[in-house]
Amino acid sequence: MSAIQTINKKLVGFFCLALLAGPTSAWADYALNMTKGVTKISEEVYDLHMLVLIICTVVGIGVFGVIIYSLINHRKSKGAVAAQFHESTTVEVIWTTIPLVILILIAIPATGTLLKIEDSSDADVTIKVTGWQWKWQYDYLDENVSFFSSLSEASNKARQRDSGINVYDVKHYLLSVNEPIVVPVNKKVRILTTSNDVIHAWWVPALGLKRDAIPGYINESWFKAEKTGTYRGQCAELCGKDHGFMPIVVEVVDQDKYKQWVVAKQEQAIAEAAASGKAMSKSELMARGEKVYKGNCMACHQDKGQGLPPMFPALAGSKIATGPVKAHMDIVIHGKPGTAMQAFAQQLNDADLAAVITYERNSWGNSAGMVQPSDVKAAR
């Protein structure tokens, strides 16, 4: 998009703000309202939102109309003489009762919708969603499928300060992940949210679902998507430095496709478990380690291991990454309590851990030997 086009668009936006007319083609890019979404609940929520919005608009026009009439006609410069009336019980009873009646009219449908939202019984699929700083873990409890989902590499590169990448060229910038979750259409999916560290919130607007992920709690909620497609959302509760960079992507597919995906995930897990025990060459470890590093460590320790001291220490030349290998494995596997350094024992398998530790010990000028998956297994 050229600079002029950009500015033009901004100007159009600016004037639309003043107009607030119904949607026209020029508006197509501007989302002004809540999504209707693709579930019954999200539609009901949308209707409720519109009901209250319309009531407020009507009341607003009434009250503001009276004030504006006064401002125009009851001004001293027009010769208005002040009436001295005040206190009227009748008037005050009327204008206390009217809002009360309106509120009851709103509360009735709101109660109905709320009861439906909180009824997560009889689910077809149950997914446990665990928040981590700063990615999501998905466990399909009955299917034995489990994986992590984090910001896609393209978005992650582009979002670095002064990356030089035009974010308009990145597809679904900040709203794409390395691995989306897949769910079947027209099935009740129960979402159990919890967290491994701080509070996050799992939110997909099109599913009408937002629920906090809280350590020590398992929160229940559900959705039933009625249209296949890809729906995107984000973490909605401030969870630290990279809160803005842990998106959610849900792919709603038909039943057959979903079954195929589950089988493929299960086979992949078996293959990975088998490979994880084997010894690896240094170049294999380094290549795999670099990938793991980028996905899990770089956000804090940075691309050249320089860290963001003092909160996130450097790894290049650090005591841990060049000293005894045992201490290094310990901190990566078990984390460091009271700091942002988390335990990776559950997030990464033996091969990934061995690879990333080897990578950290042999990059950015460090040269401190290799670690094999079997070493990690022993250190767990």
Partner 1 sequence: MSTATATHDQHDHHPTGITRWLFTTNHKDIGTLYLWFSFIMLLTGGAMAMVIRAELLYPGMQVVDPNFFNMMTTMHGLIMVFGAIMPATVGLANWLIPMMIGAPDMALPRMNNWSFWILPFAALMLVAPMFMGGNFSSGQGPAFGWTFYQPLSGQYDKLAFFIFAVHLLGLSSIMGSINIIATILNMRAPGMTLMKMPLFVWTWLITAFLLIAVMPVLAGAVTMMLTDKYFGTSFFHAAGGGDPVLFQHVFWFFGHPEVYIMILPAFGIVSQIIPTFSRKPLFGYASMVYATAAIAFLSFIVWAHHMFTVGMPVAGELYFMYATVMIAVPTAVKVFNWTATMWKGSLTFETPMLWAVAFVFLFTIGGFTGLMLGVAPADFQYHDTYFVVAHFHYVLVTGALFAIIAAVYYWLPKWTGHMYDEKLAKIHFWVSAISVNVLFFPQHFLGLAGMPRRIPDYAVQFADWNFVSSIGGFVFGLSQILFLFIVIKTIRGGAKATDRVWDSADGLEWTVPSPAPYHTFETAPEIK
Which residues, numbered 163-202, are part of the site for partner 1 (CB under 8 A)?
Answer: 163, 165-168, 172-175, 197-199, 201
Which residues, numbered 307-346, are part of the site for partner 1 (CB under 8 A)?
Answer: 308-311, 338-340
Cβ closest to Cu ion, residue 240 vs residue 365: 240
**Partner from Cu ion, partner 1, none contacting 215, C-beta within 5 to 8 A by type:** partner 1
Query: Is the previous residue joined to 310 through a cis bond, with omega within 30 degrees of 0?
Result: yes
Helix (H) or strand (E) segment spanning residue 272: helix 255-276
Query: Taking CB under 5 A as the rule, does residue 248 contact Cu ion?
Result: no
According to CB under 8 A, which one of 25, 28, 87, 367 is a site residue for partner 1? 87
177: β partners: 151
- Closest approach of Cu ion to the CB of residue 251, in Å: 21
Cβ closest to Cu ion, residue 129 vs residue 351: 129
Number of C-beta neighbours around residue 245 at 10 A: 17
Which residues, numbered 42-71, are part of the site for partner 1 (CB under 8 A)?
Answer: 42, 44-45, 48-49, 52-53, 56, 59-60, 63-64, 66-67, 70-71
Query: Taking CB under 5 A as the rule, does residue 235 contact Cu ion?
Result: yes
- Closest approach of partner 1 to the CB of residue 247, in Å: 8
Q: How far is CA 168 from CA 24, 152, 216, in A?
A: 24, 15, 39
**Partner from partner 1, Cu ion, none contacting 294, C-beta within 5 to 8 A by type:** none
Cβ closest to partner 1, residue 326 vs residue 336: 336
The closest alpha carbon to 321, from 350, 289, 284, belongs to 289
Instruction: Give the interface size with Cu ion as a residue count (CB under 5 A).
Output: 4
Cα 196 from Cα 130, distance rounded (Å): 7
Which residues, numbered 9-38, are part of the site for partner 1 (CB under 8 A)?
Answer: 9-10, 13-14, 17, 29-35
Asked if 120 and 190 touch (Cβ cutoff 8 Å), the reply is: yes
According to CB under 8 A, which one of 3, 22, 25, 86 is a site residue for partner 1? 86
Which residues, numbered 136-155, are part of the site for partner 1 (CB under 8 A)?
Answer: none
Cβ closest to partner 1, residue 179 vs residue 237: 237
Asked if 153 and 303 touch (Cβ cutoff 8 Å), the reply is: no
Q: Is the dihedral of CA 234, 236, 239, 241 positive or negative?
A: positive
**Partner from Cu ion, partner 1, none contacting 357, C-beta within 5 to 8 A by type:** none
Cα 117 from Cα 128, distance rounded (Å): 18
- Closest approach of partner 1 to the CB of residue 239, in Å: 6
| Binding piece for Cu ion, criterion CB under 5 A, among 29-37, 189-197, 242-250, 330-338 | 242-250
DSSP notation for 275-300:
HHTS---HHHHHHHHHHHHHHHTHHH
| Binding piece for Cu ion, criterion CB under 5 A, among 33-41, 56-64, 73-81, 240-248 | 240-248
The pair of three-digit structure tokens given for residue 71, joined into one six-digit string: 């401002």
Tell me the chain's radius of gyration from C-alpha atoms: 28
**Partner from partner 1, Cu ion, none contacting 188, C-beta within 5 to 8 A by type:** none
Query: Taking CB under 8 A as the rule, does residue 111 contact partner 1?
Result: yes
Interaction pattern, residues 182-211, with Cu ion; x per rule: CB under 5 A = ------------------x-----------
Phi, psi of 253 (to 5 degrees): -125, 170
- Closest approach of partner 1 to the CB of residue 54, in Å: 11
The pair of three-digit structure tokens given for residue 40, joined into one six-digit string: 């019954």
The closest alpha carbon to 222, from 129, 301, 104, belongs to 129
User: What's the distance, CA 380 to chain centroid?
Assistant: 31
CA atoms within 13 A on the CB side of 209: 31
